[in-house]
A and B are shown apart, each in its own frame.
Chain A
Amino acid sequence: MTAEGLTAADHDPSIDPVTASILWHRLVSIVDQATVAHYRTAFSTVVREANDFASSILAVTGETLANSEIGLPSFVATQSFTLRHFLDVLEVDDLQPGDILISNDPWLGPGQALDITLLMPIFHAGRLAAFAGSVAHSPELGGTQRWNQSSDVFEEALRIPNMKLCDQGSFNQTLLDVIRHNSRLPDLTIGDLDAQLASLHVIEEQLHALMREYDHLDLTVVASEILDRCEGTMRTAIEEIPNGVYHGEVTSDGFIQPNGVSGAPIRLHVALEVRNSEITMDFSDSSAQRPGPFNGVWTICSAYAAYALRVILVPFAPNNGGFYRPLKIVCPDGSITNATFPAPTLCRHVIAHQLCDAIFDALAPVLPNRVMAGSGSAPLWDLLMMGQDENGDAFHRVICVNGGSGGTAETDGHVISFPANIGGTPVEVMESLMPVIWEKKEIIPDSAGAGTHRGGFGQRMICRASRPLEITIVNGRVAHPAPGLLGGGTGRAGRFLVDGRELSAGAGAEVPAGGRFVLEAPGGGGLGTPLARDPEKVQDEVREGLVSIERAEIDYGVSLEPDTLLVDAKRTEALRASKGLMESPD
């Protein structure tokens, strides 16, 4: 499957740059308001605490026009894919005011059957003006609770046909009943769906107000103007990269497969071709799809690949489909970047998140000041816990754990989410929700990949189950840590232990009452040679107990007096000179 940018449509150039600037801000602001309405009314922790959702306004062409700055970066692109599918199969007259479209098809949306996309056509003065879009991770949609064990998509969630949830203002009650009856947590599932609807209605009302205010503003003209400008800026940024084909790759853990054995390591490879103002990212040379659910889907893989480029080429600006027009992304059917239906894909993000590192690897030689070293938060770790609380009620909770992000030419990494943007849940909140005690949540010293700018540190959580638990870990970078770039060092690999036994990525385990499990999320990779890092920074981190005196010497060539922790300048100079020679023998 291929995601290819639309070509720019002809447009009426009647919108001046000042009005365009104002309208663009307005559209982003409208989506921000919708986002707020969404998370404030949501029930599930994945939406309200972890941020697993997004809203947008889409143009009638199917391109995203504005999306929220809170929420997940990937969902902006997938809403566009979902809408384009509907636009392909529907007749013009099929869409009416009051309609809402629904899909949870992994191959049309964010790659996971638990993500529900809603799209609402917005009509103004009798014409289709735009679409409001919302994607959110549903707290429960049936299917397996053991995310690592599905063998096809049918085991993963209720499959909702691509259809109208609401037809000219009337909800399809049968569909809602089916959803309710297939959820283990029907109140949460329907409550969260309602929160998505609330966000769509905010966009609808605000867009109507905007169009009225500007005397029946033609949003299609506004969309062309804004998207063309963003396309132009993206093309200019691409033109600064020399033409050529750049190869990048990263090795991913193989993950536990349905036979209970960890699969062979996965190769994620990109051939990134820059030709003038366009880029093609071809993942054809990556591994083939696997039997288990750790498979990518073209939608989510394209979304993260495009995000990686966008964030380094045109940072800071609000996002929309214009930036993606000059991009072509190839995720071949049957590959790990696009498993073929009905393959299981519940854990597709473990593939998609790591693609960013392959792309940065490819571009590092030509854009050394822009790229980021490997992220210890790619993939995001999900820990699923099931059991019964002290009242005998069954519970099922997912928490997310981040490692260290990668170093850049300007900054060290942090313990933050990248390329996703999913937060951790406070220990006090978790302990008030389930019978688990956290004995530690701490930084792991020496876990950051060394570099001129080091990676972020990994974090360690030690947990004790007060009651028996069944746990599943969806993780990665246990066997293959986050790579450094441009001479930077590798981050520390992650580990997951249950009662002292180390498990491979994607494993499940039973924890008896009183049993302990340990999560050690990976450190981020460093960027640039560690020998160029300011010795005072190294010294400070040794003082802080974040870097050991031994690693300061071995990794950074900085020698410290053991008692005073003062820098031995002479020895440091000599060490760095000899290490420098070893590093570049030519």
Chain B
Amino acid sequence: MTHGDVRLAIDIGGTFTDLAAYHSDRRLLTTAKVPSTFPDPSVGALDGVRQLAEKDLTLAAISTVIHGTTLVANALIERRGATIGLLATSGFRDLLHFVGRELRYDIYDPTPRFPEPLVPRRMRDEVVERVAADGTVVVPLDIETVRAATARQLGAGVEAIAVSLLHSYANPIHEIRVREIIQSQAPGLPISLSHEVLPQIREYERTSATVINAYVQPLISRYLHRLEKGLQELGISAELLLMTSSGGTLPAAAASRFPIQLVESGPAAGTVIAAAIGEHLEIADLLSFDMGGTTAKMCTIRGNSPVVTKNHEVARVRRFRKGSGLPLGIPVIDLLEIGAGGGSIAEIDSFGLLQVGPHSAGSVPGPACYGRGGDEPTVTDADLLLGFVNPDSFLGGEVKLSARRAAKAVRDKIGGPLKLGTKDAAAAIARVVNENMAEAARVHAVELNIDIRRFPIVAFGGCGPAHAYAVAHRLDSPAVICPPNAGVLSAVGLLLAPMSGDASRSYPEDLERLSPESINDMLDELEQQALSQLGSSLRPEDIEVEIYADMCYVGQGFEVATRVPFRRTTEAGLRDLKSTFDETYEAAYGRRLADLPARCVTWRVIASGGRQDVAIDANGDDSNGATGESKTHPSSSRAAFFLDHGVTDCPVFLRRDLAPTARLAGPALIDDTACTIAVPPSMDAEVDGDANVILRWRSHNNTEPNRPTSLGRSASSNPPETYGA
């Protein structure tokens, strides 16, 4: 085998490390699953690579290694980062105390809590300098104050320094000079500059991002260094790329400098899968739906790309409450995470009403049916009673489930108080949790300015395929798609990740006052930055560059990301930009305010190398039926309780028996290794050429919603929107 034929993906999660290797010449996917090893997960990852090598992988043939990890998020949640210092503009070292811009995230919580700053006040020093909003230097940098602060912080044992000066996005000269001074005193010390981490207006958010970056940098750069070295020792000389939070990739060297880009590296891979499936099926807009043990994560895919947000937070004090975490500011795939998973507990609240989640029984004690001492009824208990879980092969047969315990918990805690039979109580739990997920998705869609009705759902996770039909019904979704390789899905997602680079800068100015020269100079710089983040394996002709400007009408505070119609501009080009913005705004809000002047706030250049492809003929380990005879005879039957249909005796199929083009009519259950796909009486299922199981409503086709829509505007033309100045 020659160099360049194999792509290797390594996905390190909290419990398992999944590996997938794609041999493009043989159209072959081989996978492995090994336990994750902490504190040094590179050990487990390298073990997994050795396992793959023993199977059917020539290490020298690997052209690219793509890596996803939850290490950064965990370091922030568990506060395992470095001892760091912060240098701030004189008068502003306390910015991190002005949590959440002084707003309470829950007006009915009398005892709000907020995350402690990652850098204590005693490690924050002020330097004398000042830049004004227009970038002019008001107070020159006093170098002595930088030297003194650096010496003091080094004496206190800092392992990295964050520098966040006011208006550095408008003029970074002082931050750059501060770095030179620190470097001269402490060569090699990691330094994070706010104008590089998040070159955007709003000091609290920019400082937060810079501090987060500095906090995880020593840990991540040491780890990546170990991993690269280990891979080299195994004979892999390929470039190491990291999955970023925005669904692209970043070379290890860049990731070591900007580890903040990796915060949602793990979950991003799942959404990349959904986007890739959509591309294969020629569906541009989808909803990715990952329902696991404690949470459900949803992400909207628009135009074959996951929607990204700049409002992401990490390490929330109250997990599902916006405003209770540390703001990241950088573009992150817009994951909606809600407390709805298999372990979510059902209870009767103080109003006498049924609530499901966000409290979770976790895996210990877990749902009542685990028989590990849990006696609270959970979603998994309800699913078991409703027939949506195979009691004998749950988690690959690892846990034997007790329907008796599930029934007792549901009867005692829910059925009794609500005067419902056990089955009806279980159905009520399923109904409420499904509604919670659908409702959250709807509000989220409004925040994104997207009408998600008619978006097919890509369902995965241990509970996703069992609940997807009900969520699809509530959201008027035409189809549910359950991808194969459920056990190592994120690793497969890494294989599909497009290489991309992303650079942005705030330059808030009325459009009328912008000069083409200043815009072109800035775009030159941003494009260079974006291109430098791409891996070295791309050919220049494969690289696509897109430019966006976050724009609003003068006076507004929320911008619409507007696709800029030029690479470099003239006066006339800027006038065209105004009309492009008017159109974009009208598509978003149904109104055009063409008389009002426009303002540009942030410019963003995205360079990408296109999505990778994984076309599989044969499937090494996790056979999801891509080969062999089509067998559409059920292997058994179970009673299942579909919402709105009651109890049905239902044929049960094994997913591994279903070959491409297999079709079956609901009601049916399809047991997979890690989940059960529920096909209600009103849907049919079919297996496509990529081994996806696709559920469609019998009464209507792909393009027509089953209920009238009321928003009366096109879903496809709405742009993503961002929050800025």
Q: A: which residues have CB within 8 A of B?
A: 16-18, 20-22, 24-26, 29, 32-33, 36-37, 39-45, 48-49, 51, 69, 71, 73, 187-188, 191, 194, 198, 202, 205-206, 208-209, 212-213, 229-230, 232-233, 236, 310-312, 314-319, 370, 372, 402, 408, 410-411, 414-418, 421-424, 426-429, 431-432, 437-443, 457, 459, 462, 543-546
* CB neighbours of A310 from chain B (8 A): 108
Q: B201 near A432 (CB under 8 angstroms)?
A: yes
Tell me if B226 is interfacial: C-beta within 8 Å of chain A: no
Most A CB atoms within 10 A — which of B97, B120, B428? B97
Q: B110 near A441 (CB under 8 angstroms)?
A: no
Most B CB atoms within 10 A — which of A40, A426, A428? A428
Bound-complex Cα distance A408 to B91 (A)? 30
Tell me if B93 is interfacial: C-beta within 8 Å of chain A: yes
Q: B446 near A423 (CB under 8 angstroms)?
A: no
* CB neighbours of A543 from chain B (8 A): 120, 122
Residue from the list A36, A205, A426, A544 in contact with B710, Cβ < 8 A: A205
| 11 A–B contacts, CB within 8 A, in A order | A25-B439, A29-B440, A33-B446, A48-B558, A51-B103, A315-B111, A370-B110, A416-B104, A431-B167, A441-B91, A543-B122
From known contacts A17-B354, A429-B202, infer whether A311 and B102 are also in contact, taking CB-CB under 8 Å: no
Q: What's the least CB distance linking B155 to chain A, in Å?
A: 15
* CB neighbours of A42 from chain B (8 A): 556-557
* CB neighbours of A410 from chain B (8 A): 111
Q: B555 near A188 (CB under 8 angstroms)?
A: yes
Q: B111 near A411 (CB under 8 angstroms)?
A: yes
* CB neighbours of B97 from chain A (8 A): 415, 443, 457
Binds A, one of B295-303, B345-353, B368-376, B666-674: B345-353
* CB neighbours of A459 from chain B (8 A): 94, 98
CB-CB contacts below 8 Å: B546-598 with A: 553, 555-558, 589, 591, 596
Q: B112 near A414 (CB under 8 angstroms)?
A: yes
Q: A431 near B132 (CB under 8 angstroms)?
A: yes
Tell me if B106 is interfacial: C-beta within 8 Å of chain A: yes
From known contacts A18-B432, A48-B556, A48-B557, infer whether A32 and B108 are also in contact, taking CB-CB under 8 Å: no
Tell me if B16 is interfacial: C-beta within 8 Å of chain A: no
Q: A315 near B109 (CB under 8 angstroms)?
A: yes
From known contacts A29-B439, A43-B555, A431-B133, infer whether A408 and B354 are also in contact, taking CB-CB under 8 Å: no
Q: A39 near B558 (CB under 8 angstroms)?
A: yes
Bound-complex Cα distance A411 to B99 (A)? 15
Tell me if B355 is interfacial: C-beta within 8 Å of chain A: yes
Residue from the list A20, A22, A314, A426 in contact with B101, Cβ < 8 A: A426
* CB neighbours of A45 from chain B (8 A): 557
Q: B102 near A415 (CB under 8 angstroms)?
A: yes
* CB neighbours of B348 from chain A (8 A): 17
Q: What's the least CB distance linking B638 to chain A, in Å?
A: 24
Residue from the list A213, A317, A418 in contact with B707, Cβ < 8 A: A213
Top 7 A-B pairs ranked by shortest CB distance?
A440-B91, A48-B557, A21-B353, A432-B133, A18-B428, A544-B121, A423-B101
* CB neighbours of A427 from chain B (8 A): 92, 166, 203
For the A-B complex, the count of residue pairs with Cβ-Cβ distances under 8 Å equals 204
Q: B: which residues have CB within 8 A of A?
A: 91-95, 97-104, 106-114, 120-122, 130, 132-133, 138, 166-167, 201-204, 348-355, 418, 420, 428, 431-432, 435-436, 439-440, 442-443, 446-447, 449, 508, 553, 555-558, 589, 591, 596, 707-708, 710-711, 721, 725
Bound-complex Cα distance A482 to B449 (A)? 42
Q: A432 near B99 (CB under 8 angstroms)?
A: no
Interface contacts beyond A311-B110, A432-B725: sample of 13 additional A-B pairs, CB < 8 Å, sorted by A? A18-B418, A42-B557, A187-B555, A232-B351, A233-B351, A372-B110, A415-B99, A426-B201, A426-B204, A429-B202, A437-B138, A442-B93, A443-B94
CB closest residue in chain A, given B168: A428
Q: B103 near A428 (CB under 8 angstroms)?
A: no
Bound-complex Cα distance A493 to B435 (A)? 49
* CB neighbours of B431 from chain A (8 A): 18, 22
Q: A317 near B439 (CB under 8 angstroms)?
A: no
Residue from the list B94, B351, B447, B553 in contact with A441, Cβ < 8 A: B94
Q: A441 near B98 (CB under 8 angstroms)?
A: yes
Q: What's the least CB distance linking B503 to chain A, in Å?
A: 20
Q: A417 near B104 (CB under 8 angstroms)?
A: yes
Q: B108 near A317 (CB under 8 angstroms)?
A: yes
Q: B108 near A421 (CB under 8 angstroms)?
A: no
Residue from the list B112, B121, B432 in contact with A416, Cβ < 8 A: B112
Q: B104 near A315 (CB under 8 angstroms)?
A: no
Q: A49 near B557 (CB under 8 angstroms)?
A: yes
Bound-complex Cα distance A402 to B98 (A)? 10
Q: What's the least CB distance linking B217 to chain A, in Å?
A: 23
CB closest residue in chain A, given B169: A428
Most A CB atoms within 10 A — which of B103, B110, B348? B110
Q: A416 near B439 (CB under 8 angstroms)?
A: no
From known contacts A33-B446, A317-B108, infer whether A423 and B102 are also in contact, taking CB-CB under 8 Å: yes
Bound-complex Cα distance A314 to B130 (A)? 48
Q: B721 near A437 (CB under 8 angstroms)?
A: no
Q: B166 near A428 (CB under 8 angstroms)?
A: yes
From known contacts A21-B432, A311-B110, infer whether A418 and B104 are also in contact, taking CB-CB under 8 Å: yes
Q: B556 near A43 (CB under 8 angstroms)?
A: yes
Bound-complex Cα distance A205 to B201 (A)? 36
Residue from the list A21, A36, A462 in contact with B447, Cβ < 8 A: A36
Q: A17 near B103 (CB under 8 angstroms)?
A: no
* CB neighbours of B94 from chain A (8 A): 441-443, 459
Q: A73 near B107 (CB under 8 angstroms)?
A: yes
Q: B120 near A426 (CB under 8 angstroms)?
A: no
* CB neighbours of A44 from chain B (8 A): 555
Bound-complex Cα distance A24 to B436 (A)? 11
Q: What's the least CB distance linking B269 to chain A, in Å?
A: 29
Bound-complex Cα distance A372 to B591 (A)? 45
Q: B110 near A437 (CB under 8 angstroms)?
A: no
Q: B91 near A439 (CB under 8 angstroms)?
A: yes
Bound-complex Cα distance A205 to B442 (A)? 14
Q: B132 near A316 (CB under 8 angstroms)?
A: no
Q: What's the least CB distance linking A268 to chain B, in Å?
A: 20
Bound-complex Cα distance A545 to B436 (A)? 45
Q: B102 near A428 (CB under 8 angstroms)?
A: no
CB closest residue in chain A, given B355: A21
Residue from the list A316, A432, A457 in contact with B106, Cβ < 8 A: A316
Q: A311 near B558 (CB under 8 angstroms)?
A: no
* CB neighbours of B113 from chain A (8 A): 411
CB closest residue in chain A, given B436: A25
Bound-complex Cα distance A29 to B435 (A)? 11
* CB neighbours of A21 from chain B (8 A): 353-355, 432
Q: B350 near A233 (CB under 8 angstroms)?
A: yes
CB closest residue in chain B, given A310: B108
CB closest residue in chain A, given B556: A43
Q: What's the least CB distance linking B710 to chain A, in Å?
A: 4
Q: What's the least CB distance linking A195 to chain B, in Å?
A: 10
Residue from the list A20, A33, A415, A432 in contact with B98, Cβ < 8 A: A415
Most A CB atoms within 10 A — which of B112, B114, B201, B556? B556
Bound-complex Cα distance A431 to B203 (A)? 12
* CB neighbours of B101 from chain A (8 A): 423-424, 426
Q: B122 near A544 (CB under 8 angstroms)?
A: yes
Bound-complex Cα distance A191 to B552 (A)? 13
